[in-house]
Amino acid sequence: MKEVHVIEARSDRINRRNSKKIERIRVAAYCRVSTDSEEQLLSYNSQVLHYRQLVQSNSEWELVEIYADEAISGTQINNRISFQKMINDALDDKIDLIITKSISRFARNTLDTLKYVRLLKKHNVAIFFEKENINTLTMNGEMLLVILSSLAQQESESISANVKMGLKMKMKRGEMTGFNGCLGYDYDPKQKILTVNEKEAEIIKYIFNRYISGMGCYVIAKELTKLKYKTKRGSTNWGESTVRGIIKNEKYKGDLLMGKTFTVDPITHRRLDNFGEEDKYYVKDHHEPIISKEVFEEAQRILAKRSPRKSMEKGLKREKYSRKYAFSSMMKCGFCGSTIGRRSWHGNNVTYRKIVWACITGTKKGKKYCNHFKSISEQALEAAFVDSFNLMCTNNKDVVVEFLKTVEESIGKSNLTKKLRKISEDIYKLENKLSKLVELNIDGIINKETYEAKYHDTTSEIEKLKDEQDQLGNAYEEQKELEKKMKSFRKVFDNNELLEKFDREIFENIIDKVVIGKVDESGIRNPYSVTFIFKTGLQLEEDCTVKKPNGIHGIKDETVYSYNGIDTCGDSCTTMSSQPLILLVFQQFCDFYSFSKNSENHPEKDLKRSIEIRIAI
């Protein structure tokens, strides 16, 4: 038998990267606390002191650095700056050994723990977990590490679930949680109350007043930047999204909505907007309002009208909603349904200028796409509304009053509130029944077949009632909107003052949309018919074949009353109403030029002498 000599392992440490002997082990320590409470910060300071003394007590160790993350959750390593720096230093051959209190302090995610243990082990860097007494370079396999790391992850998930439950209980009690600052309010963390910051509140009032007057978020943001008003973070650079967020924030009317977002995964801490996946908690009159409820609701109505989401849900084309002029985004072509746009027609002489409104599709794409449209003078449209309103308020007032009375009586008889309350009570009873049914099944009082049959019937009935509840809820919201429109309309109508000139405020208060052009039952097309559709459902139609108040040459902008300054763009979708019931038809005689394009796509003008006006419901 051959003689074998054992070459004993060296007691000193070798750096495998350069094969040199390590005189002293380069040690780093990692410590972390999850919150910034006084108790946790004391724990953090204690950890730092402990590791300094530990390294200094060992003559073979050399302290490189103590890496520490304060008030950082252990579930997300990307947020732990010192941790990332420590790993990079270890990979750059600056560290031989990392000491940490426990696996949960290092990482509360099994995958992250194994990832960094294997990465550092590959570079001959050890991790020593004090609590578990594990050295990653000398341990036999990863089984124990995996088990202990999984327990740490389970602990993290359990803590997250407990915190989430605690927050929900607070929200149920109406206590504010997760307040991150809100322009216009100061927050007292001890009393947990919001108080109005008068200086900032002026900015909020400015934003809402500008918005309901017709300005868009983009324009308001530009104005605020120009005025050098400051955001909550102190910036004077305002963005469109910041203004929109303020307009949507219910806190400004004194209410509080909690649960707007929710955490998908306690490990990644990924948060999503809550579209109904989790409960929300709404507290009315929670604090002092800055904006009245009426102003806030009006802003929401405008916001909903401009939002593209409504049109996308219905599969309709997203359309521009501009309020630069009174007629902007209010008029539709009666032939193709496109928006009616404002145009300036010029002759060779610069003094010749005419403002008209025409179908955008026919103007941009040609008569092939909308063959019957004709442009109508802006002054003719203004005069048409004035004459229509005055005629409605005088000769036909009894008809309108009867119409308003009929609509208001219909609203009063709907009993939607009682129906919604009854359905809510029925759902509550069925849910209690379902809960008792589950208890009976758990206690073994009923058999499986009976339980499953009753459970299926009860849940089906609940779903059916919830669908009915949603439908009635939508009808209730529509009814409230109609009541608001009726109130606005009656306020203007009861004033009983005739108009001497076009009034944009009155126009926007009572008119929902305007349709230019019509096709009658015989198929005859009238491009000079103007239908005014009131917000109550009432409709007025005029035949715009003429208006010439001051001549057509050299018209100045100040003679037009529907212009209101800055362009403000948003988005909305407007649908055409069903066929109206005609109450009144009359001719308005006035001279104006209509402009259109001929077959060669060249502009040509045509003198018209009347406008057909219709009132309908």
User: What pLDDT band is residue 576 in, cutting at 50, 70 and 90?
Assistant: very low
Task: Give the DSSP per-residue string, 367-424.
Answer: TTT-SS---EEHHHHHHHHHHHHHHHHTTTHHHHHHHHHHHHHHHHT--HHHHHHHHH
**Mean pLDDT value of segment 266-275:** 69
Predicted local distance difference test score (pLDDT) of residue 433: 87
Same structural domain, 133 and 247: no
Mean local confidence (pLDDT), 457-472 = 86
Mean pLDDT (whole number) for 467-471: 84
Instruction: For residues 326-342, give the mean pLDDT.
Output: 86
Q: Verify that 389 and 503 share a domain, yes or no.
A: yes
pLDDT digits (tens, 9 = 90+) for 145-201: 787 777 777 777 777 777 777 788 888 888 888 777 889 999 888 888 899 999 999
pLDDT 10s digits, 98-126: 999 888 888 767 778 888 889 999 899 99
Q: For residue 2, is pLDDT > 80?
A: no
- Reference 330, options 489, 561, 512; nearest CA is 512
Per the domain annotation, does 313 fall within a domain? no
Most confident of 135-149, 271-285, 327-341: 327-341
Question: Can you give the pLDDT at residue 581?
Answer: 43
**Are 76 and 153 found together in one domain?**
yes
Domain boundary among 119, 143, 158: 158
Give the residue-averaged pLDDT of 535-563: 48
| Residue 501 confidence (pLDDT) | 86
609 and 582 part of one domain:
yes
Q: What is the predicted pLDDT for the residue at 611?
A: 59
In the predicted model, is pLDDT for residue 363 greater than 60? yes
Q: Do 283 and 345 reside in the same domain of the chain?
A: no
Residues 105 and 144 in one domain: yes
Decide if pLDDT at 73 tops 80.
no
State the pLDDT at residue 571.
32
Average pLDDT value for residue range 72-101? 82
pLDDT at 71 over 60: no
Residues above pLDDT 70, as percent of the chain: 71
- The verdict on 415 and 275 lying in the same domain is no
Distances (CA, A) of 46 to 41, 82, 102, 380: 9, 18, 15, 83
Same domain membership, residue 123 and residue 100: yes
**Which CATH number do you get for residue 263?**
3.90.1750.20
State pLDDT tens for residues 198-235. 999 999 999 999 998 878 888 899 999 999 999 988 88
Q: What is the pLDDT of residue 578?
A: 41
In three-state form (DSSP H/G/I as H, E/B as E, the rest C), the secondary structure along 468-513 is HHHHHHHHHHHHHHHHHHHHHHHHHHHHCCCCCCCCHHHHHHHEEE
Query: Given a cut of 80, is residue 93 above it in pLDDT?
Result: yes
How high is the pLDDT of residue 223?
92
Whether residue 440 lies inside any domain: the answer is yes
| Across 59-72, average pLDDT | 83
Q: Is residue 2 part of a domain?
A: no
Confidence of residue 251 (pLDDT cuts 50, 70, 90): very high
Q: What is the CATH number of the domain that holds 74?
A: 3.40.50.1390
pLDDT (average), residues 317-338: 73
Residue 534 has pLDDT above 60, yes or no: yes
Amino acid at site 18: N
Those residues whose C-beta lies under 8 Å from the C-beta of residue 532, and which sit 6 or more positions away, are 384, 385, 388, 511, 514, 539, 540, 541, 542, 615
Specify whether 220 is located in the same domain as 130. Answer: no
pLDDT at 287: 92
Per-residue model confidence (pLDDT) at position 600 = 58
> What kind and span of H or E run contains 90?
helix 81-91
Long-range contacts of 550-553 (CB under 8 A, 24+ apart): 552/354, 552/377, 552/592, 552/593, 553/351, 553/352
> For 567-589, what is the mean pLDDT?
42
Query: Which of 128-142, 290-304, 352-366 reaches the highest mean pLDDT?
Result: 290-304
Question: What is the token pair recorded at 86?
Answer: 């420590």
Domain shared by 525 and 599, yes or no: yes
Tell me the pLDDT tens digit for each residue of 122-143: 899 999 999 888 898 888 777 7
Number of domains in the chain: 4
Q: Is the pLDDT of residue 416 over 60?
A: yes
Mean pLDDT score of the chain: 76
* Residues facing residue 353 across a β-bridge: 346
pLDDT in tens, 377-402: 888 888 888 887 887 777 666 666 76
Mean per-residue pLDDT, 260-283: 75
Residue 485 backbone class (left: φ over 0; alpha: ψ -120 to 50; beta: rest): alpha
For residue 180, is it within any domain? Answer: no
Residues of the chain with pLDDT > 90: what percent? 14
pLDDT of residue 608: 61
Residues 578 and 611 in one domain: yes
Predicted confidence at residue 252, as pLDDT, reads: 95
Largest CA distance in the chain: 130
| Mean pLDDT of all residues in 35-55 | 75
Token pair, residue 253, equals 């009317």
- How long is the chain? 617
Residue 554 pLDDT: 32
Structural domain range at position 583: 319-394+499-616
**Dihedrals φ, ψ of 309, to 5°?**
-60, -40
Task: Give domain status of residue 361, yes or no.
Answer: yes
What is the pLDDT at residue 291?
94
Residue 117 resides in a domain: yes
The pLDDT, as a whole number, for residue 97 is: 94
Do 140 and 45 have their domain in common? yes
| Bridge partner list, 282 | 257
Residue 279 has pLDDT above 60, yes or no: yes
Of residues 314 and 474, more confidently modeled = 474
